[in-house]
Amino acid sequence: MADAGGFRLASESDPTASAHLAGTILPGFRDAHVHLGLIDGAALLGGGIAVVHDFGWGLESARTWATDTALPEVRIAGQLLTAPGGYPTASGWAPSDASREVAGPDDASAAVDEQVDAGATFIKVTLNSDAGPVFDDATLGAIVGHAHERHVSVAAHAQGAGQAARAYSAGIDVLAHAPWSERLPDELIAAMAKAMSWVSTLDIHGWGKFNEGFAVANDNVRRFHAAGGRIRYGTDLGNGPLPVGVNERELVALEHAGLEIDALAAAIAPAPASGAFGQRISRISLPRQEDPAHWLAAARLIDHDNLEVHLA
Ligand SMILES: [Zn+2]
């Protein structure tokens, strides 16, 4: 995190600061689980979100998002890979072309290739035994294996007893939601903390009116975080009444699960792998306050291309 003294600009040849941006500067905020097909994505930048991971939609639309300048930086999963008749084919929220049914292990490579060839940089599978059939181990393993061969990670929607454990055993890299179907055993949580990331999506469990799923997910997140697991801020935007922008309730929920300011900032403003900040940075002009969630939610984006207008 940049210090509260703000951000100093200097050229490579002359390291003396040439201008000063007051406040606190972080990498552009990321929502690591959205559905652009279900929201007005053009409102995200104004809401403080610079980067999104889209967790499933038809390829015809999804392949256009990465180059749409009205949108944040977008990574797409492409279609949701699911067992024949599996979630979300009968759930109502997703059009039929948002899902790709995978008939068995022999069909796994083709299904993965279709997504990657259309621009997907990760694969999303559904393992929702509450809402239909789920992949057998052989098919799931074939999908994960081929995705990794193509150098893309795999995220899973794991729902229903035992599905989060199956995702872990299959080598899934990311859980699309912090598990809420059951309290996971400590040993499983410890193993998962070494091997995968979880997208938080705590606020979908009641949207501020905490339900039973919220309590279970919150307890799992608390132990996963304490075990060193990596949490990504994500909201499942498009699913229920959520603000199109930074959701302060999601941050508050993570705070309640034990994430302190540095962990919260890392969850929503991950340092870019390259070391260079992305196209947009997040600026918090509020003085550093007691409540980290409220403070982070006050961030606004600045585009590198018009940085000058913000400089003091
Ligand atoms: Zn989702």
The total number of residues shown for the chain amounts to 312
pLDDT tens over the chain, length 312 residues:
444 455 666 666 777 776 777 888 899 999 999 999 999 999 999 999 999 999 999 999 999 999 999 999 999 999 999 999 999 998 888 899 999 999 999 999 999 999 999 999 999 999 999 999 999 999 999 999 999 999 999 999 999 999 999 999 999 999 999 999 999 999 999 999 999 999 999 999 999 888 899 999 999 999 999 999 999 999 999 999 999 999 999 999 999 999 999 999 999 998 877 666 778 999 998 888 779 999 999 999 998 776 766 665
For residue 148, give the nearest of 177, 106, 116 by alpha carbon: 116
152-196 confidence digits (pLDDT tens): 999 999 999 999 999 999 999 999 999 999 999 999 999 999 999
The rounded Å distance from CA 176 to ligand 1 centre is: 7
Q: Please enumerate in sequence order all residues whose Cβ is within 8 A of that of 301, keeping only pairs 6 or more positions apart, or say none.
A: 28, 29, 45, 48, 49, 50, 280, 281, 282, 283
Q: Minimal CA–CA distance to 196: which of 234, 226, 160, 156?
A: 156
Q: How far is the CA of 190 from the centre of ligand 1 (A)?
A: 25
Hey, is 109 helix, strand or coil? helix
Q: Give 189: exposed, middle or buried? Use CB within 10 Å, 0-12, 13-18, 19+.
A: buried
- Cα–ligand 1 centroid distance for 294 (angstroms): 25
* Distance from the alpha carbon of residue 236 to the mean position of ligand 1, in angstroms: 5
CA of 289 to the centre of ligand 1 (A): 32
Dist CA 92 CA 263 (whole Å): 36
Q: Report which residue type is found at 178.
A: A
Domain layout of the chain by residue ranges: 27-310
The rounded Å distance from CA 80 to ligand 1 centre is 10
From ligand 1's centre to the CA of 245, what distance in Å?
16
Q: How far is the CA of 238 from the centre of ligand 1 (A)?
A: 8
In this predicted model, what pLDDT tens digit does every residue of 71-110 receive, in sequence order?
999 999 999 999 999 999 988 888 999 999 999 999 999 9
pTM: 0.93
CATH 3.30.70.2860 fits 27-310, yes or no: no
Q: How far is the CA of 307 from the centre of ligand 1 (A)?
A: 33
Ligand 1 centre distance from Cα of residue 156 (Å): 10
Torsion, Cα of 77, 195, 50, 268 (10° steps) = 140
